[in-house]
Amino acid sequence: MPESAVTLKDVARRAGVHPATASRALNVETRLLVSEETASRVLAAATELGYRPNAVARSLRTRRSHSIGVLIPDLNNPLFPPMVRGLADRLELHGYVALIGNTDGDEGRERRVYEQLRARHVDGYALATARLRDPLLADAARSGVPVVLMNRIAADDSFPSVTVDNDAGVRLVVQHLVALGHRDIACIAGPQDVSTGLARYRAFRSAMTGAGLDVPDSRVTFARAFSIEEGYRCARDVLAANDRCTAVAAGNDMLAVGCYLALDEAGLSCPADVSVVGFNDMPFIDMLRPPLTTVAFSHYQVGAHAADLLMERLNGASGPAKVIYVVPRLVSRGSTGPRS
């Protein structure tokens, strides 16, 4: 296989036409401008020479890089790889490639990666890092680059977004626990500056009220991050309050795992003493002991939908931003049982 030094000019020469004609023949959009016969001659020459168009030169000319910047808060969180897969798979169908950046939830790093990607002239962004009020989003909006939000959405509906229906998910959680006889239910809420944290917390309060149950302040703690460590810390706090809750609704699976650790430490058994419910049904969470009851939805679909919304935008659609809510379902496993 020869070096990819084969250029359009080479193909043209081989086919006995002008480079411009070769270009037209090779581009699907403009092929109809060229005679059937020369077109096939050019195509033949191209394959013979192993011609690969130079994407860089093309980008410079067309001002489209056919690449999408993707910002992920934490690629180590198993929730995100499937989302990235869904996004990248779908983008690939349209000839786009994803540039993935990890931000560690750090605002400065987020900004740096964003600018890096911008310098590479990505055609759009898919952000899984959105905070409810996010200066980065404001900038992005101003710059006019298409942006879609995954998993987390913004406070206003100005961006096309894909997220799980957090309200519905939390309702399922509370219903499940209530059906098992639980009335004293604690909440380990996620960070309140991102939509998933806030929406689930609010939904929890509202679902509890709807069930005629009280939520004293001592039964709510707020995690500063969706991490195992924070789940552990918060669960300890709740347990220390010592008001005998029989179930815990965690803001996501990571927090639930932290909760497991705290229960272990306190010598409490799950679900015999305390039931635990998570959110996300992330990979491997069913392998824990006990397997975690949680709210499931297709992470892959979130990414795939996000790609679709982005493609719409890139193709010039410009109506109001669509917000897609993926439907969740409760997966009942071993971490929840009847009230003791």
- Binding site residues, DNA, CB under 7 A: 5, 7-9, 16-21, 23-24, 26-27, 29-30, 33-35, 37-39, 51, 53-54, 57-58, 60-63
Sign of the torsion angle spanned by Cα atoms 55, 61, 65, 66:
negative
Q: In which residue are the tokens 């509890």 written?
A: 208
Total residues at interface with a second copy (CB under 8 A): 49
Nearer to DNA, 33 or 327 (CB): 33
Nearer to DNA, 27 or 76 (CB): 27
Give least dist CB 82 to a second copy, A. 6
75 near a second copy, rule: CB under 8 A: yes
Partner touching 20 among DNA, a second copy, none, CB below 5 to 8 Å by kind: DNA
Nearer to DNA, 29 or 217 (CB): 29
CA–CA distances in Å: residue 302 to residues 219, 240, 330: 32, 38, 17
Partner touching 38 among DNA, a second copy, none, CB below 5 to 8 Å by kind: DNA
Q: Is 33 left (phi over 0), alpha (psi -120 to 50) or beta?
A: alpha
Give least dist CB 250 to a second copy, A. 15
| Secondary structure, 3-state, 216-272 | CHHHEEECCCCCHHHHHHHHHHHHHHCCCCCEEEECCHHHHHHHHHHHHHCCCCCCC
143 near a second copy, rule: CB under 8 A: yes
1 near a second copy, rule: CB under 8 A: yes
Judge contact between 164 and 302, C-beta under 8 A: yes
DSSP 189: E
Judge contact between 24 and 72, C-beta under 8 A: no
The tokens for 126 are: 């898919």
**Contact residue for a second copy among 108, 144, 267, 320 (CB under 8 A):** 144
List of residues contacting a second copy (CB under 8 A): 1-4, 52-57, 59-60, 65, 67, 75-76, 78, 81-82, 84-85, 88, 92, 97-102, 115-121, 139, 142-145, 257, 260, 283-284, 287-290
